[in-house]
Amino acid sequence: MDNLIKLAEKIKDKDLREKTISLLKDPKLSNPALACKPLKIEDTPGGFPGFEHHMEKGGLIKHTEGVTLLAMQMADFVEERYGTVNKDFVITAALLHDIMRLYDFDKIGDEYSLQDNLLEHEELGACELYARGFPEEIVHMVLKHLKPEGQGLEGTILHYADSVDSFSDFYFRELSGHECGCECCHDED
């Protein structure tokens, strides 16, 4: 979690940085009528049954860090070659795109199962960002991060960073039968 806060500190806009850090540290829902029960962020996997990427304890943190780092590199590349990118929006949306995954799962023993929620994590995330006064562009990026259609430049960067990180973990863990070899996978040893 400390790494996510360090990445959030790279957001130049003070208000946006403070809102992002606040939500990372306290991802409670503003609407008490929603009956979802969250896992702790440290316990939440990054994927879901059916697309099992980052399914280990702490997988959401690992995935979020990977997406954010990759999105920042992509934003730098695009800016060097083509023009201005709102990097604050990229960093914020990357850090928060899956924050409501905490509300997707129940954990029984070592197994995760999906809660029966009406709202998907991206919808719940967009609702919470809206309630907390985040810019509309970031709300849209989080809501639509699973699809590139209708996204602006920053949203497209987020979508592809999310896809590359997710599929890379899925490939190395599931398809090849090997861990990815990064130090994150070996921290638990």
Nearest CA-CA partner of 91 in 1, 3, 11: 11
Beta-carbon count within 10 A of 65 CB:
19
Compute the distance between CA of residue 143 and CA of residue 161 in angstroms, rounded to an integer: 15
**pLDDT at residue 11 tops 60:** yes
The fraction of the chain above a pLDDT of 70, given in percent, is 78
Q: Which helix (H) or strand (E) holds 75?
A: helix 59-81
Compute the distance between CA of residue 12 and CA of residue 175 in angstroms, rounded to an integer: 39
| pTM of this structure | 0.85
**pLDDT at residue 173 tops 80:** no
Compute the distance between CA of residue 143 and CA of residue 134 in angstroms, rounded to an integer: 13
**pLDDT at residue 21 tops 70:** yes
* pLDDT (mean) for 121-148: 91
**pLDDT at residue 111 tops 50:** yes
Q: Which residue has the higher pLDDT, 75 or 171?
A: 75
User: Which domains, from first to last, does the chain contain?
Assistant: 2-186 (1.10.3210)
Q: Return the pLDDT at 128.
A: 93
Q: Are the C-beta atoms of residues 24 and 95 closer than 8 Å to each other?
A: yes
**Least confident segment among 41-45, 87-91, 175-179:** 175-179
In sequence order, the β-bridge partners of residue 106 are: 113
